[in-house]
Amino acid sequence: MSEQQSYPWPDASSTGVGSWPGDDPDEAVRTILGELPALPHLPELPGRGVGADMVGRTAGLLVDLPVEVQPSGWRVADTPGRDIARATSLMSYDLDALTEHAHAFTGTLKIQVAGPWTLAASVELRNGQRLVADPGACRDLAESHLEGVLAHIAEVRGRVPGARLLVQVDEPSLPSVLLGSLPTASGLSRLRPVDRVRAEGVLRTLFAAIAGTGAVPGAHCCDPAVPVDLLRRSGAAVLSLDALLLTRAHDEMVGTAVEAGVGLLLGVVPATEGTPAQAARMSDPAATVDPVRDLWNRLGITPDLLSRAVVTTPTCGLAGASPGHARAALTASRAGARVLRDEPRRQAS
């Protein structure tokens, strides 16, 4: 890896994972742009309800694959209905707010979409079974998802023409898909695991298409069983992970990714209010990023690269936090990023 490795963000950057509390997209965009000037993201507001949740938000991007909400969740439908209309409308409000406040922005802007395997694990077929159980349906979903994501990228680029886009593909359910831990519709058994080669192929096609637009493809998964190697091989140029869940078992995979030039978005700040001890730790920027500095030391990579390769974030989305904690989490993330630049090595106690 070259010492001059470039990343799609400035040195000592911080950002958010995606979601934000509240229901006002105008206020949310203004806040994110103000709090995260180096690497802002398009905030998601799932508190608005159906169509603003992670699955519904991306389902609204699907092409020729309508879905609707049933008591058990999102399900494939015969024709587009009010649920998808609502999802599309909510996204439009978000993009209007982005246009108003970020039209002249010229840095890197992160947007988020649910990944094809998380959608396949979350959306039901008409018989109530998860879509991931049907290989043919998965192929249709992947094609529809790809077309919709590319259209979304074009739409955002038209709204913020000077920005470089970082497209974060959220795959929280990918480990369950690969491990075969998803329950069947009856709940009495588990679905068979999806072949890793097949899963990787779908993601490789998606990431290559994103890169082909000039955007940067990334992936987010905050599961302890995150398949780092698979995501890297698939072409993710950025990996968003929960640093507090990374153990020595992840070291080789993470080290290989960094050596390959993959950038890291590492969650270091609790996404929701915690114990007094956690709050005290959050107020200490050095303690906040100690897990990252310890990881870097174990990997044996030059400290000079740390604040360039790593972006600090909350551990997950902030939709479940109070507005006060959400702002404090971004403040703590920014302070932690400065520590990684100024003190990349953890000081001996």
123-134 pLDDT tens trace: 999 999 999 999
């911080």: which residue's tokens? 14
Per cent of the chain over pLDDT 90 is 92
Which residues lie across from 70 on neighbouring strands? 73
- Nearest CA-CA partner of 307 in 338, 284, 286: 338
pLDDT higher than 80, residue 90: yes
Which pLDDT belongs to residue 2? 46
Nearest-angstrom CA–CA distance, 29 and 162: 17
Q: Could you tell me which residues come within 8 angstroms of residue 338 by beta carbon, excluding any fewer than 6 positions away?
A: 12, 285
Average pLDDT over residues 43-68: 96
Average pLDDT over residues 154-164: 98
Q: How far from each other are the two terminal CA atoms of the chain, in whole angstroms? A: 32
Per the prediction, the chain carries an average pLDDT of: 95
Average pLDDT over residues 69-76: 94
pLDDT higher than 70, residue 4: no
Which pLDDT belongs to residue 56? 96
Where does the pLDDT of residue 283 fall: very low under 50, low under 70, confident under 90, or very high at 90 and above?
A: confident
pLDDT higher than 80, residue 274: no
pLDDT higher than 90, residue 157: yes
Lowest mean pLDDT among 25-39, 50-64, 110-124, 276-290: 276-290
Which pLDDT belongs to residue 349? 54
HSE-CB for 56 with a 13 A CA cutoff:
27
Which pLDDT belongs to residue 247? 95
DSSP string spanning 20-44? -SSS-HHHHHHHHHHH-SSS-B--B
Average pLDDT over residues 172-199: 95
Which pLDDT belongs to residue 293? 97
Average pLDDT over residues 317-339: 96
pLDDT higher than 80, residue 278: no
Which pLDDT belongs to residue 3? 52
Average pLDDT over residues 267-290: 85
pLDDT higher than 80, residue 197: yes
Burial class (CB in 10 A: 0-12, 13-18, 19+), 107: middle
Where does the pLDDT of residue 154 fall: very low under 50, low under 70, confident under 90, or very high at 90 and above?
A: very high
pLDDT tens by residue, 104-152: 999 999 999 999 999 999 999 999 999 999 999 999 999 999 999 999 9
